[in-house]
Structure 1
Amino acid sequence: MTGKRVAAAVVCAYFFLVIAAQDDEPGYLKREHSLLKPYSGNGMSIPMWDFRDNVMITNNFIRLTQDHQGKRGSLWNRVPCFVRDWEFRVHFKVHGGGRSLAADGFALWYTKSRMEPGPVFGSRDEFTGFGLFLDTYKNGPQAVSFPFITGMINNGSVAYDHQTDGRKNSIGNCLATFRNKDYDTYISVRYVKQELTVSVDVDGKSEWKECFKVEGVLLPTGYFLGVSAATGDLADNHDILSMKLYEVEVERDPNDDGLELSSVIPQLKYPDRSKTSSDDAHRNTSMSGFKLFLLAFCGLLGLGVCLVVGFMIFQKHQERSRKRFY
């Protein structure tokens, strides 16, 4: 009887885990835009994906760059994505010999062109579409910790600003310590109803944490998904373990704007609403420090007043005592 109960408990636990895993999926998995094990087909080819430069394919991961200087690699879906609302989840690992310093990082792409190498994390500059950069090396003098995640919308005419690590044209960013972790690390890009949300799961808690969210993002259909990475004088291994694209089902207003999405120019409808999480955090930190200063100042001022008043009361008490004595 005990054995049957144990078996029943194991079966129930299994089904609960399956249900929980299913609940975590945001929509319908689009396999033509996803990369799952086993990666290779016949030979070194990957069905529905192309790669170039220093990419290395293994049974457990696809390495965009090795931990060597001056390397780059990219991996691109060869099927254009016509999904209107989607979520793109990437299981990755960035690791290397450098404990505190590494370079350069890797990027997630949803762009008009594909397989074009260049100076932006191994891919082309002045791209058309959306780029998300997981930067591990600080080029400019800005007072920001690294690794640093930042997003950029480009209509094909704007160059990535290396001096500010992309902050000049950033639509949102955040700090995320994802290097040299001994647990799984993930990043998610969700694009639903013209709202783009980037989230990370890099703390080993199996919980998504919002990096930034931007409303009014116009991205056309028919672009390509990809990832790329590069190393410089410093280096890291940039590994991709899986990439999953989900089609998200949403209810739409019958009076939808009817925008022809294939001809949309990538842009922000409300540039002033773009949210920069790290800037907000910096302002909040500065404000908190100011508040602490005010509290400390008021506390010291109050203490001083109390000491003065106390001393005056003590003096009067002493005078009265002397009068009574005489």
Structure 2
Amino acid sequence: MERCRIFYKFSINIIVFLCLLVASDGQDSSQMAPEGGFLKREYSLTKPYSSNGMTMPFWDFRDRTMLTNNFIRLTSNHQAEVGSVWNKIPLYLRDWEMQVQFKVHGGGRTLGADGFAIWYTKERMTPGPVFGSRDEFHGLGVFFDTYKNGPQAVTFPQITAMVGNGSVKYDHMTDGKSNAIGSCLASFRNKDYDTLVSIKYVKETLQIRLDIDGLGEWRECFSMPGVKLPTGYFIGMSAATGDLADNHDLINVKFFHMDAGRSAEEEAEDWSTVLPGVSYLKPPIDNRDDVGSGDFRNSSVSGFKLFLLVVCILLGVGVCVVVGVVVFQKRQAQNRKRFY
């Protein structure tokens, strides 16, 4: 009997510990500073956003953008809205990583619109038809598209990236596919938890990663070498709604200067006059509606977390058995006393 009680208490403690480990594992890992990264507060956007609800240090905002204590709403769940936030300071770092925590949600269960964009461009604070910002931009646009305009057989939402040189238009009829340098499908809309995206630009390689499952684990959307982005451009985020609508909320932006181990000669190079472009392009993206490394719609639990869950279940079953044995033995003891 005493051994059963000891096992019971020990099992309960183990179950509580493992369940807490499963629940908390990775919650902060995605948001930690990357290896070789140094947080740049002048390019970051964290709570509290504003002391007066009207202005933000280092940032401007316009149109329907609304500041709250817990998020910055670029658009609300109403038709035909645009909103944006833009950093005031030109960026003169060649190697960097930007982590953005966001939430897209609305009344439509399966359909919303139009989406939002994260920018690194020469132009700033200029509204337009590309997710609330201007077309024919210079620099990088990463688009989180929630509404399919074109006939392609894909299931939205979709994330694409485009490098513009000031003359290339965003192709709405193909949802940016014709000029995209990379893409993946990602079900980030109407989640119970926030989504994280990492945009990393180190040694002319652009990498997009996501934590879309709330597990604190990065998964690659795509990686593209040979991307040339000048220094001196601006960081921004914009969003737009159409006939359909969503709330587009920013939770925080963390910007890191990455140590790429460049030589003194490389550091001395002037990249402010470089023309935006891509020296290497993959074959045209077809984004077939199938499961692949760039598909974030049907993600599974990681192996370690699955192991912990199985252990919790087995221990739970063991505790139930022990409790049952203890209760059964007590009842037997009580029944024996009645006969004496």
**TM-score, reference length from structure 2:** 0.74
Q: Is 2:83 the counterpart of 1:73?
A: yes
> 1:281 and 1:259 mapped to 2: Cα distance?
43
> 2:140 and 2:168 mapped to 1: Cα distance?
12
Query: Which AA in structure 2 matches 1:40?
Result: S
> 1:114 and 1:177 mapped to 2: Cα distance?
29
**SS at structure 2 position matched to 1:87:** strand
How far 1:25 sits from its partner (Å)? 1.1
Which residues in structure 2 correspond to 1:163-312 (within 5 Å)?
163-253=173-263, 256=266, 259-271=269-281, 273=282, 276=285, 278=287
The question of whether the paired residues in 2 share the 8 Å contact of 1:172 and 1:274 is answered with no
Distance 1:72 1:105, change over 3 A: same
Distance 1:195 1:245, change over 3 A: same
Distance 1:209 1:157, change over 3 A: same
How far 1:252 sits from its partner (Å)? 2.3
Aligned counterpart in structure 2 of residue 33 of structure 1, from 43, 50, 54: 43
1:75-125 deviation per Cα after TM superposition (whole angstroms, max 9, x unaligned): 000111111100011000000000011100000000001000000000000
More helix by share: 1
**SS at structure 1 position matched to 2:172:** coil
Distance 1:270 1:177, change over 3 A: same
1:248-303 deviation per Cα after TM superposition (whole angstroms, max 9, x unaligned): 112125664964211111001123x4785945967999xxxxxxxxxxxxxxxxxx
> 1:105 and 1:263 mapped to 2: Cα distance?
31
**SS at structure 1 position matched to 2:104:** strand
**SS at structure 2 position matched to 1:163:** helix
How far 1:39 sits from its partner (Å)? 0.4
**SS at structure 1 position matched to 2:78:** coil
Task: Provide the identity percentage.
Answer: 58
1:205-232 deviation per Cα after TM superposition (whole angstroms, max 9, x unaligned): 2111100100000001110000000000
Partner of 2:105: 95
Q: What 5-or-longer segments of structure 2 have no aligned partner?
A: 1-16, 295-340
Query: Which AA in structure 1 matches 2:222?
Result: F
Which protein is bigger by CA-based radius of gyration?
1
Distance 1:258 1:215, change over 3 A: farther
Aligned counterpart in structure 2 of residue 149 of structure 1, from 159, 165, 168: 159
**SS at structure 2 position matched to 1:261:** coil
> 2:194 and 2:224 mapped to 1: Cα distance?
26
Partner of 1:295: none
Q: Is 2:109 the counterpart of 1:85?
A: no
The question of whether the paired residues in 2 share the 8 Å contact of 1:173 and 1:277 is answered with no
1:177-236 deviation per Cα after TM superposition (whole angstroms, max 9, x unaligned): 001111121111000000000011111221111001000000011100000000000000
Partner of 1:294: none
**SS at structure 2 position matched to 1:190:** strand
Distance 1:62 1:217, change over 3 A: same
Computed over aligned residues only, the root mean square deviation of the Cα atoms, in angstroms, reads 2.8
1:16-65 deviation per Cα after TM superposition (whole angstroms, max 9, x unaligned): x99x8599311110000000100013451011100000011100000000
Partner of 2:66: 56
